[in-house]
Amino acid sequence: MSTVVETHDHGHHGPAKGLSRWLFTTNHKDIGTLYLWFSFIMLFTGGAMAMVIRAELFQPGLQIVQPEFFNQMTTNHGLIMVFGVIMPAFVGLANWMLPIQIGAPDMALPRLNNLSFWLLPMAFGILISTLFMPEGGPNFGWTFYAPLSTTYAPSTVNFFIFSVHVMGVSSILGSINIITTIFNMRAPGMTLMKMPLFVWSWLITAYLLIAVMPVLAGVVTMMLMDINFGTSFFNAAGGGDPVLFQHVFWFFGHPEVYIMILPAFGVVSHIIETFSRKPIFGYESMVYAMASIAILSFVVWAHHMFTVGMPLAGELFFMYSTMLIAIPTGVKVFNWVATMFRGSITFETPMLFSIAFVALFTIGGFSGLMLAIVPADFQYHDTYFVVAHFHYVLVPGALFGIIAATYYWLPKWTGNMYDETLGKLHFWLTFISVNITFFPMHFVGLAGMPRRYPDYALQFADFNAIISVGAFMFGLTQLLFLFIVIKTIRGGKQASPEVWEGAGELGLEWTLSSPAPYHSFSIPPQVK
């Protein structure tokens, strides 16, 4: 490189050329873009697996795949969606937006940032490669309960464990970076209570990640020992305890579900205030609500384990603590509604997705509340009712948050407006198909269809056919999303710096030109 005559002025390097730009980049915007594309590719990978699942379940009987492969599909679908789509997409948004929302030139630890990203393709390469090995990939569910995932697992479980370790390292490094950036790189004048809510949501999420990813690493390491080194952490025959696995897993697992929703809370708050043209209602209570959700999320884990045979006092404790979480969650919903109240509302695509978020996430919250009621959970647990619950909070919840964020900030990233008509079409198709897919799951669940079944009794046939049709519709619709994003990158109406009417007042990102320059806020702005 040193032989190249540098003609441009120093201090304002543009991106490197070709592949090396992406391999070696330390620029937060490039890394954000990498994360977002990675997540997009994984969305279609995990989505293809969901299509296999739904094709098999379209009718009773085994038509398309055998149970062995079906179990690999459900497992990998879950793992990929959780660790490969939702989490990386939020980290991508964080990379792009945190520095420019707090007026920093970049993330605090740019090289670490590059490493955190590139660990991910490695982790998922390993995970997905197991599907092509003779014994097949992981087939024990995304919750990988022992001893199905230890004594009874295919030997490829070792690859799975390694890949979870690598994902964990990536998440922990990413979180350290985010926390360091937020605490050290805010523009002068930006006190904590002036930070945008997306920044707050990520600060809290990053702490959750640092707290629980080591727990996940611990539990998979114990599995590794059980499988290869003769320990008996989870092996009853050797004096171990299979239920211990579940306690440790869910101690990670429940905070994990909030890791997947808090950043969406942040995004949606910005979008609702932008398109209601009215500042967010109850900023402080929004922050406190997120913090209390995060803290409470450490003491509710056993609500996933109501049927393992806990003592009565334990069942009641976890029921009450879980119900408590509904309070801060409810407060957030009330605040969003109060923000819309007496605003001046327009319905651009990001707003449509956010309104749908509020409505449908709330439905997921209701089913969550019902699941928290222990005696009722005896009937709901491990049926499609649970599947309906978590898909409502994760698809029209977390995923809608990500889609809304993409439409909201895409003009800032690319400098071009997306096609509003196509965006609205994408919204309506998605909204309709998501409900056709996931709403009937409540009914089949209540009627008694257990989850993770490749085949089912005849009385569930009608609903399953409807669900499958909805799922194919949903899957196809997301190709339209891909098309819209590519179309916007390639051209479109030039976006103004503030992009959305009045947004200039709302955050530092809207004071930058569109697209945001490769290096921004080299001189920190002053926040009043």
Nearer to ligand HEM, 326 or 480 (CB): 326
- Is 171 annotated in the active site? yes
- Is 170 annotated in the active site? yes
Q: At 450, phi and psi to the nearest 5?
A: -70, 155
**Cα–Cα distance list, 451 to 58, 376, 396, 402 (Å):** 15, 17, 20, 27
- Is 226 annotated in the active site? no
Amino acid at 247: H
**Cα–Cα distance list, 521 to 103, 168, 502, 513 (Å):** 6, 31, 21, 11
In the numeric block, the tokens 């490493």 are attached to 115
- The reply on whether position 270 binds Cu ion by CB under 5 A is no
Question: What does the binding site for ligand HEM look like in residue numbers (CB under 6 A)?
Answer: 143, 257, 260-261, 303-304, 322, 325-326, 329, 365, 368-369, 371-372, 377, 380-381, 386, 389-390, 393-394, 397-398
- Is 142 annotated in the active site? yes
Helices within 395-504 (DSSP H only): 400-414, 420-446, 461-490
Shortest distance, position 253 Cβ to Cu ion, whole Å: 7
- The reply on whether position 77 binds Cu ion by CB under 5 A is no
Nearer to ligand HEM, 108 or 386 (CB): 386
- Closest residue to bound ligand HEM by CB: 368
Q: Which of 28, 165, 278, 303 is catalytic?
A: 303
- The reply on whether position 254 binds Cu ion by CB under 5 A is yes
Neighbours of 338 (CB within 10 A): 15
260 binds, among ligand HEM, another protein, Cu ion, none (CB under 5 to 8 A by kind): ligand HEM
Shortest distance, position 323 Cβ to Cu ion, whole Å: 12
3 binds, among ligand HEM, another protein, Cu ion, none (CB under 5 to 8 A by kind): none
- Is 254 annotated in the active site? yes
Residue 4 C-beta-side C-alpha neighbours within 13 Å? 6
How far is Cα 463 from Cα 439, in angstroms, rounded to an integer? 10
443 binds, among ligand HEM, Cu ion, another protein, none (CB under 5 to 8 A by kind): another protein
Q: At 416, phi and psi to the nearest 5?
A: -115, 145
* DSSP single-letter state for residue 383: B
- Is 77 annotated in the active site? yes
- Is 304 annotated in the active site? yes
Nearer to ligand HEM, 325 or 340 (CB): 325
Residues 50/139, Cβ–Cβ less than 8 Å: no
- Is 106 annotated in the active site? yes
* CA end-to-end span of the chain: 43
- Is 283 annotated in the active site? no
- Is 186 annotated in the active site? no
How far is Cα 180 from Cα 24, in angstroms, rounded to an integer? 21
236 binds, among ligand HEM, Cu ion, another protein, none (CB under 5 to 8 A by kind): another protein
Q: Which of 30, 56, 256, 377 is catalytic?
A: 256
Q: Which of 29, 54, 332, 381 is catalytic?
A: 332
How far is Cα 58 from Cα 467, in angstroms, rounded to an integer? 8
Catalytic amino acids?
A: 77, 106, 142, 170-171, 254, 256, 258, 269, 303-304, 329, 332, 451
Chain contacts with Cu ion (rule: CB under 5 A): 254
